Amino acid sequence: MIALSKIALRTCLAALLVAPSANVVAASAALPSPTRADCDRPEWQQVLRPADPATAPAAAEAAWLDGRTLRWPGPTLSPGDRVEWVVQRPGQADEVMALQAAAADPASSRRAPHIADGPTWHVPTGLSSAMLRALHRSASHLRHVAADGTVRQRTEAQAALALDDLFGTAASDPRPLGVTLSPAAGSAARTTFRVWAPTAQRVWLCLHADTQAPARALVPMQFEPRTGLWQHTAAGRLQGQAYTYLADVAVRGTGWVRNRVTDPYATALATDSVRPVVADLDDPALMPAGWRTTPSPHGRAPHPVDMVIYELHVRDFSVSDDSVPEAHRGKYLGFTHETSRGMQHLSALSKAGLTDVHLLPVFDLATVPETGCVTPKVDPAPPDSERPQAQVMAAADRDCFNWGYDPWHFNAPEGSYAVAPDGLSRIVEFRQMVLALHRAGLRVGMDVVYNHTTASGQREKSVLDRIVPGYYQRLNARGAVETSTCCDNTATEHRMMARLMLDSLEVWARHYRIDSFRFDLMGHQPRDAMVAAQQRLRRTLGREIHFIGEGWNFGEVANNARFRQASQLELN
């Protein structure tokens, strides 16, 4: 079946190729296969085939409106000119297809409002959805060709809406992403790895016996063309073992790249997040004593108006409290000492009517070293001196403190707040904190940041963009990442970014017994996604999880420019 589909695809494309004057290029060499050594290289990327600067566009000024339609406002066409879609796949000749002019569809045009009005184009009618899915696993661009064959302009096309259309069933697929462990023991035990990477040519799984060991295995993952999911099921329960992915992807302006990347759905991590760790959050070994039996006080605030909230930073809570053992100061375990001054204070507030402690970001964040951090030493100075600021900034990249609004992995606890950040211990320590607050009669809320990531593109701490380039981040009219939130904005209007947010919220509410969420810059997210998230938690958990959020109306999404926002204007 696979061989037949490839033959059918090649036959159809050959029929659709334009005349020889379209410069069909001879076949390029196939990409080399990795070895286990690639799992342990110090570099997080290998450029396998650099982009040709003469033909590779630097910008993405066109956009797919769905799986078959594009808009490119740039070219002004003269009689005899044409627009072509150039598809470049490793080991094959370039394929050049003449696009067909299409009447503008107002409904489709509203799907990419950041792209100016302009000519709309259809792919050839002979291309099936299966063929289009295969073509999106290639490097491709558009070009404006004059009647005499001269190439006048080139651009890439922003592909997120095409991926949503062609691979969108993954958003509602009931199979969990990330790692799942079967409940069976012995020879029947299995560990399944699943990642969404619809544009990748190939994906491999690197397996490590622990967080420090070199790779013990390199396994090719199996691709599911309908959903864009890559999967591998390994024998045994690999609890506590580490892994990464190698993904061969086309990156605009760079070329074909092999990215070694962590897992967007990682729930446990090595120190400093260098590798994800396999974790079964339902394993009793990861549950502190009383975890299953201690009731949550979520009933203290049956309605949002009943919430009385104390916002709190984990490190600030106990870092200077000498009634807490020194090893636990500034850590999750700082909350587990009920006779400490801090916990006595919170208990007194609880009795006086406080219902919720809202923790500033406690997901895995990118700016605090999880071992070896430092506290800047600031010398006394006059009020107008610039020396204190200079001393703080000199240690900024090693500072033990950060507010935490720089998400790296959404589903794993931050390691700098753990006594033992490596591997599974941070899960247990986080749960011990939640348990201690529940026992004090306090609900636990989380400050969550799904509106941006700490990095995008090919930067080291970029995760989403190195697995599916150009999909998870919100782009401007030239294809650059929007940064109105302060950092690299995410696009929760895209189906799989919305799924990531919803899945992540359920991880925290189900497995860490979080009672409420406070959303940073919630107005940068679609109202529909927020409503769907709350409904899902209510349906799957059988209890109300209160949402509060910043409903500011600004940036590229202001006044519902991209979608109906979850802003104050739309929620009241």
Please identify every residue annotated as catalytic: 520, 550
Q: What is the rounded CA–CA span in Å between residue 386 and residue 411?
A: 39
DSSP states of 52-83: -TTTS-S---EEESSSSEEE--S--PPTT-EE
Residue 361, both tokens = 């970001």
Q: Specify burial of residue 13 (Cβ count, 10 A radius: 0-12, 13-18, 19+).
A: buried
Q: In the structure encoding, which two tokens stand for residue 447, read together?
A: 């400050």
Amino acid present at 548? I
User: Secondary structure of the chain: what % helix, strand, coil (to 5)?
Assistant: 30, 25, 45
d(CA 229, CA 217): 21
**Helix or strand or coil: residue 504?**
helix
CB 425 within 8 A of CB 284: no
Q: Encoding tokens for residue 120?
A: 């709309």
> How many Å is the Cα radius of gyration of the chain?
26
Angle between helices 495-506 and 527-541 (to 10 degrees): 40
Give the amino acid at 309: I
Burial class, 132, CB count within 10 angstroms (exposed 0-12 / middle 13-18 / buried 19+): middle
| Residue 74 · residue 493 · CB < 8 Å | no
CB 356 within 8 A of CB 310: yes
Amino acid, single-letter form, for residue 565: Q
**Cβ atoms of residues 542 and 549 within 8 Å:** no
Nearest residue to 363 (alpha-carbon basis) of 223, 508, 228:
508
- Residues in contact with 20: Cβ distance below 8 Å, sequence separation at least 6, in sequence order: none
Contacts 24+ apart (CB under 8 A), 556-564: 556/114, 556/474, 556/476, 556/482, 556/484, 556/489, 557/474, 557/484, 557/523, 557/524, 561/113, 561/114, 562/113, 562/114, 562/474, 562/493, 563/493, 563/526, 563/527, 563/528, 564/526, 564/527, 564/528
Q: CA-to-CA distance for 409 and 441, rounded, in angstroms?
A: 30
Which candidate, 438, 452, 449, places its Cα nearest to that of 362?
449
**What is the per-residue DSSP string for 361-396?**
--EEESSS-SSS-B--------TT-SHHHHHHHHTG
